[in-house]
Chain A
């Protein structure tokens, strides 16, 4: 009897902390949910995985026309298409991850009301599953690099770190919004706005060098600023690595992650009752 697990069910009071042992036990479920999301995403579509490329690519074309050619927005001396596309693939991933993870808890109502497993797996699944699309879109970037003869520097070694930073931010925001959305469905209508505002608050169609020097550190409080400028610096090698911005990003995204996770853990107990 002593070797068997013991489960004590009672009303939870006070701060709930994450149970890592349990997450480890459920890692296979986590893996299968990610595989499910990936496999199901482009089922019964004609273009399939091409959609992962079409979206950022055509947005880049539109932005190049309007912001690059017509508005003549500077691009730190980098050809506007590749300047924009480098940021676009990161942003497409980030926006997609926030969008799917925010709606994930409500969307998994049938699972949540029928079986127990660590709920936090659900929003994190969306964040992970988006990486495949990101990789596909990234391949096109490699093609563009060849075309423009722009090559990454040795600093490209920190790229995985930037990707993790981006995932961390998306997870934090995703968990927070998913948990809020379970009870307040207003969130669903807020997300498109949020994503749009956030995109213009991030150096995607313009470089952060356009922001006046004295506001730049405030601007860098947006954790995606450091990520995007970091992407450009290490992949295109025309700008200096924005060390300060990235450091601020790390602090802010860790904060967002902890905030999202903590709030999620506090309210997950009533998910089954309000979905």
Chain B
């Protein structure tokens, strides 16, 4: 194996989170405070950049992080909010310096911590391309060379000489990403920039980033967008509380990430919210894979179940559970109701007690991606009894799948297996017509 392009060694970063301000209770206190505060403020401000003391307000954003990345690797960095992902990227891109440890980078680095860094609203699209390009480390000649390509990619030819403050937010983002997409560093650091723009443009960006990966560039990609990480990065690093929890194959890590991040949320969520009325309280919403195990990640080709448990406090007529499945761009994919199976009958009474209702969903239904599920309990015609939005997140993945032709990538939110017939046309008949 060749020498690593990125070597991170024992990297740590501390931050002061700042001590709580003392509140003045009386006017006299406020006046005395105005005179005594400068001394205290000076001490606090000086401390902001010093770390010798074991003061209580220090947090470790990163703690002893070490890893190596080979040239051409595309690595996803995942972790919950506050796990240190962004801090890691900020240190790698030299925006802030580590408290201890070191990094060795062999190559030009470009970091995209945000799209449109340094865009000025008063300047035109053309001027901003140059400004943003040079901010990202390009030379003017380099931008001149790629200018037409950038404009074509951004699809804003007509508005090139309009100040960007008149742009729609979509146009703004497209232009900003177009500039960024044409950077040619050896090492590219990307932080969640795909969380913007419309779905179609996101696809285009993902495609462009895929190209980047195939050009043999080294990419570090921080994201919550699991399908994107899975699609782009063969390897992932999972950070928790500033340390590396796991480093390895993306599929294994995403599975672990989702297990530790989401699995307990449904129970907690519904219990805490106690969304129900006096009549019905939802208890839990659980996704189970084909083996019946709790798992919010299911393979594309496997059957899975969504189990809703609830407590009925007083008898309800004609009680039904309904679920809606939304894609990550908030499109309603489909809804399902228990009355499909059990029918609507105003005279059927559900007696108090605990119930579990299981929706059985077939494999080959949803394309890979993340989905959000809403549930509600209702007596049709009498409105909702309770409603839980974003009850659970479902991730449909292809990993561990059966492989083969059925698993091939295809576009669209759903990917049902549609039967098709192929028959040879009757050549005799054809001939007779001509």
Contacts and interface: CB of A to CB of B under 8 A. Distances in A.
Contact of A12 (B3, B97, B106): B97
Contact of A115 (B99, B106, B113, B140): B113
A152 to B, nearest CB: 37
Nearest to A268: B97
B135 A9 contact: no
Given A29-B135, A274-B49, A269 B104 contact: no
B49 A110 contact: no
A272 B120 contact: no
A77 B71 CA distance: 74
A114 B98 CA distance: 16
Interface in B138-194: 138-140, 186
Interface in A29-75: 29, 31-33, 35-36, 39-40, 43-44
Nearest to A112: B95
Contact of B122 (A35, A39, A184): A39
B313 interface: no
A5 B185 CA distance: 11
A11 B99 CA distance: 6
A8 B120 CA distance: 32
A117 B105 contact: no
Given A10-B98, A44-B122, A114 B104 contact: no
Contacts of B138: 28
B48 A117 contact: no
B143 to A, nearest CB: 8
Interface in B284-314: none
A201 to B, nearest CB: 26
B345 interface: no
Contacts of A32: 130-131, 134, 140
Contacts of B71: 1
B136 interface: yes
A244 interface: no
- How many interface residues does chain B have, given as a range? 35 or more
Nearest to B50: A270
Interface string B103-130: 1111111010110011010110001001
Contact of A8 (B3, B15, B95, B103): B103
Interface string A248-275: 0000000000000000000101101110
B103 A9 contact: yes
B48 A183 contact: yes
Nearest to B94: A116
Contacts, number: 119
Nearest to B134: A29
B101 A272 contact: no
Nearest to A115: B117
A116 B93 contact: yes
Contact of B131 (A9, A36, A44, A274): A36
A196 interface: no
B107 A9 contact: no
A6 interface: yes
A256 B105 CA distance: 35
Contacts of B15: 273
Contacts of B99: 11
Contacts of B49: 183, 267, 270, 273-274
Given A39-B122, A115-B95, A183-B45, A7 B105 contact: yes
Contacts of B352: none
Given A39-B123, A40-B122, A43-B122, A6 B140 contact: no
A25 B109 CA distance: 14
A111 interface: yes
27 contacts: A1-B3, A1-B71, A6-B106, A7-B103, A8-B104, A9-B105, A10-B97, A10-B103, A11-B98, A26-B137, A28-B138, A29-B134, A32-B130, A36-B120, A36-B131, A39-B122, A39-B123, A110-B117, A113-B90, A113-B95, A114-B114, A115-B117, A269-B96, A269-B97, A272-B95, A273-B15, A273-B49
- What are the 6 A-B residue pairs with the smallest beta carbon separation, nearest first? A29-B134, A10-B102, A9-B103, A116-B94, A7-B105, A28-B140
